Structure 1
């Protein structure tokens, strides 16, 4: 085993030092303009023009060799053949190249060898500490073909000392031969943070704590300085979830979570625990027997699952007892599409509401000082809000120790309105519970069809005013709101860059160079919006907005073990009545595209985009397709989903039922799979066949 190499490290003692005292009086940023971003520094490239593998090797017994059969540029590439497992692929050692705490951009071009069927490729990193491997996904599943080169590009920060570090290309399933070319590893020299700005936490000190969701990478260097200067609360974005803390039954991992808690303690910050029970990022073994088979719905299965839940909570909540200010005990249990409002997760299928009762009871026993929250998204939508209200009322009446309701507030520059958000807050006041904003970000996009090469100035200003208006509302209700948390520290690390589609988003207060945006002034001093300079240039859309597609948002994505998404579902615009009756769609008057946005062992996230190619509006629609390999729909958004046998049915939501000629609508979903996950080949809209693209 190679000994860990000494790197540019930031000692925890240094991280714990306070940044210079913030100004008590708000001053215009114009007196201290933000520095301009430096040019990227390229530290490694592979072009394969010299007829060698340039250091790339196989992960197992496949063959890696230079090739002139295809090239992205020049005449050479690297060809990988003889793959017998999907995780096999070309590997490059980065141990002596990557420095601790530097945020790198990794880019590689990929295509399949001639004659191979389309596949999903991804770019990943393997690291090992004390012999224990961990796998970090840099770029998620991306469709690649034998006819076109596809660029896999993403960012990665090494946040701890390692003895092994490699980057590799693999496929989600199957073993097609593939080419790679023009690999590059680069970074942009970090700008110093702006120390002469008022600290957000000081401006809000009389109202509520202000927090940020972080990973271990944000505990180093400039990110750590920004975090400790502006925030007095942290949430572990992924490090306390089940797949990170107990990926295998009885094997607990707390390294990353411990680091976050230690940083918070050193800097006098509160910690919000997230999350103890959730239908996503829960390993499949939790709901399986010892042979790995799904548990049947029986009394014995219920007892087993509740025992596993109690064991897990006693381990993780007990470990941090006295160090956590609040726990998101259960997360996203409401589905307004169900008559009783309860999500039909595996938790619910096997235990009913008892998993919620158990989770809160055990959390109270092991950490009586922590406030216990039930957390959900889209709680501003009346149907969802009311179902959550009813559930909390019922459980509290039973004596379940629910202290508060968490509103995620993944929103965008147009939605929801302040009045809708206020109605969300006032609904829960009669219950006498605390309320917290737990995962707030404001996407610059209003639908899935938009994509900007850089955030346009007009969107950044709209975002700033939206932050202003919502924080004004939070201040008015500061007697009921006991904490506000943003879902990220800065725009350089946001899950919205890859969900619901891959594009550059900018949902937070600080930009990719950790400099203050107009959104920062929207919270700190709205009189400075549009007055202070911003280093973020304007851009223009790379695709036209779809007039009927919904805004989308959801939670975090930096898995540390088996990658899996953290999908929180899309906000729903103000409802309008659904026209009836459902019309007939002329044959050939619709086009459907189907894509898998992310896939992990046992589950995947998909999107179906429907376009009305006819000449008349479709006033009310129902989309159907067939899963041919036993996939099972578990959740849908932008429509109501159901599955009978192999047939999936998605009916329009009230707000997107009208589909004008030429317009499109996107529907997202989560589903389970085993064995294989082929895409459906046929779709119908209101009973008529659609063209598949």
Structure 2
């Protein structure tokens, strides 16, 4: 989702957390990845880079690494594979942070998803790409830049990454239309950029699942976004663009005051199912890529708030997991302590957001139990064709 400097938000107490014994469940097999595996799915999380021992949602934080090892079998970089992180200039790549993440993940037996080969949003482009001079033959220069990026990343990591968010967030949620960028202007339209990105990724990484990833959701106010994504997916099929799955980010939320999250979910379900039915009818698979819960509309008291988050999440995940086309399920972080929600979606009352399965002290919450039950209770995944 959004780039964030964790050090601007979090104070250090890494030594205390590193010394904490993480005990997620009573039974050895009582893990999120185990529940997912019972229905032939993988469960995972975003993770970050940090200096060794830092108080961060990083593999280099022993306490957080223990959570990842206990509950996950697939990981995705939170920010360290985005253009801003790995391509500081047109002629220079920097993998100094992502390489050790890949090394740690593969050494410890995790699968990896790649996020993202192209974030189709000028706000999150590196400065050089927004101001780049594409010269007298702009389309050729734009293709060169895009091809170089996709080829460099996919060939560097090969089969270590088996699924890519090839394109991220190309649809404007307010209008349902495609966003324009410096690359789209150079190449004669956003559709040209997106198609080229997927075709290049297929040629460079034929083994990988290719995903279009976006944050259209089930809450009120998402109708234009959903319609825009459906239109884009239909156009991909019409043009023969090699897209395997829709990445449903799943940053779900309760924004209006409520004490009955279940009733809200029940009201939202019909339109959400209709959207998913249309996606899967086009032959797309589904991936939950960035799950968490925004709790702004729930009471401040921890007990009722945690119950509301868990109820809302359970209802949502039960719907998603009723589709055999759903594959991987990934959270956008496991602990409230390191969640991007603290900086970008704070509660108006100033209370810490509680949208992750573990709390600030890395203790399991009711949300984790709800996720476990949903994963174990879902239909079995229908394996995608090789």
TM-score, normalised via structure 2 length: 0.80
Aligned residue number for residue 343 of structure 1: 179
Aligned residue number for residue 458 of structure 1: 304
Give unpaired runs (5+ residues) of structure 1: 1-134, 140-152, 159-185, 527-693
Aligned residue number for residue 443 of structure 1: 294
Give 1:195 deviation, angstroms: 5.3
Q: Residues 330 and 359 of structure 1 are in contact (CA less than 8 Å); yes or no, is this contact kept in structure 2?
A: yes
Query: 2:167 matched to 1:330?
Result: yes
Mapping of residues 41-190 of structure 1, within 5 Å: 138-139=7-8, 154-155=10-11, 190=19
Secondary structure at 1:514's aligned position in 2?
Answer: coil
Aligned residue number for residue 55 of structure 2: none
Mapping of residues 379-418 of structure 1, within 5 Å: 379-380=217-218, 381-413=222-254, 414=261, 417-418=268-269
Secondary structure at 1:268's aligned position in 2?
Answer: coil
* Matches of 2:253 and 2:319, distance apart in 1: 16
Query: 2:10 matched to 1:192?
Result: no
* Matches of 1:304 and 1:156, distance apart in 2: 45
Q: Residues 334 and 388 of structure 1 are in contact (CA less than 8 Å); yes or no, is this contact kept in structure 2?
A: yes
Aligned equivalent of 1:307, options 122, 131, 144: 144
Q: Residues 286 and 308 of structure 1 are in contact (CA less than 8 Å); yes or no, is this contact kept in structure 2?
A: no
* Matches of 1:196 and 1:430, distance apart in 2: 38
Aligned residue number for residue 314 of structure 2: 468
* Matches of 1:321 and 1:188, distance apart in 2: 34
* Matches of 1:405 and 1:394, distance apart in 2: 14
Q: Residues 18 and 63 of structure 2 are in contact (CA less than 8 Å); yes or no, is this contact kept in structure 1?
A: no
Q: After alignment, is 240-249 or 379-388 more displaced? A: 379-388
Q: Residues 336 and 342 of structure 1 are in contact (CA less than 8 Å); yes or no, is this contact kept in structure 2?
A: no
Aligned residue number for residue 276 of structure 2: 425
Aligned residue number for residue 194 of structure 2: 356
Aligned residue number for residue 257 of structure 2: none
Give 1:137 deviation, angstroms: 6.2
Give 1:266 deviation, angstroms: 2.3
* Matches of 1:440 and 1:304, distance apart in 2: 36
Secondary structure at 2:7's aligned position in 1?
Answer: strand
Aligned equivalent of 2:38, options 196, 203, 206: 206
TM-score, normalised via structure 1 length: 0.46
Give 1:276 deviation, angstroms: 1.1
Q: Residues 435 and 482 of structure 1 are in contact (CA less than 8 Å); yes or no, is this contact kept in structure 2?
A: yes
Aligned residue number for residue 255 of structure 1: 96
* Matches of 2:272 and 2:11, distance apart in 1: 34
Larger Cα-atom Rg: 1
Query: 2:337 matched to 1:499?
Result: no
Give 1:299 deviation, angstroms: 6.9
* Matches of 1:224 and 1:360, distance apart in 2: 33
Q: Residues 163 and 210 of structure 2 are in contact (CA less than 8 Å); yes or no, is this contact kept in structure 1?
A: yes
Mapping of residues 533-548 of structure 1, within 5 Å: none
* Matches of 2:101 and 2:17, distance apart in 1: 25
Aligned residue number for residue 219 of structure 1: 59
Q: Residues 166 and 210 of structure 2 are in contact (CA less than 8 Å); yes or no, is this contact kept in structure 1?
A: yes
- Cα deviation code 1:84-130 (max 9, x no counterpart): xxxxxxxxxxxxxxxxxxxxxxxxxxxxxxxxxxxxxxxxxxxxxxx
* Matches of 1:442 and 1:261, distance apart in 2: 27
Aligned residue number for residue 157 of structure 2: 320
- Cα deviation code 1:586-632 (max 9, x no counterpart): xxxxxxxxxxxxxxxxxxxxxxxxxxxxxxxxxxxxxxxxxxxxxxx
Q: Residues 286 and 305 of structure 1 are in contact (CA less than 8 Å); yes or no, is this contact kept in structure 2?
A: no
Aligned residue number for residue 379 of structure 2: none
- What is the aligned residue count? 339
Give 1:473 deviation, angstroms: 1.8
Q: Which has the higher contact order (CA 8 A, sep 6+)?
A: 2
Aligned residue number for residue 524 of structure 1: 372
Would you tell me which structure has more helix in proportion to its own residues?
2
Q: Residues 213 and 485 of structure 1 are in contact (CA less than 8 Å); yes or no, is this contact kept in structure 2?
A: yes
- Cα deviation code 1:167-186 (max 9, x no counterpart): xxxxxxxxxxxxxxxxxxx9
* Matches of 2:103 and 2:277, distance apart in 1: 36
Give 1:318 deviation, angstroms: 1.6
Give 1:418 deviation, angstroms: 3.2
RMSD value over aligned CA atoms?
Answer: 2.6
* Matches of 2:117 and 2:163, distance apart in 1: 12
Secondary structure at 1:320's aligned position in 2?
Answer: helix
Alignment CA distance shift 1:137-1:213 (3 Å)? closer
Give 1:446 deviation, angstroms: 2.6
* Matches of 2:32 and 2:116, distance apart in 1: 26
Give 1:302 deviation, angstroms: 3.0
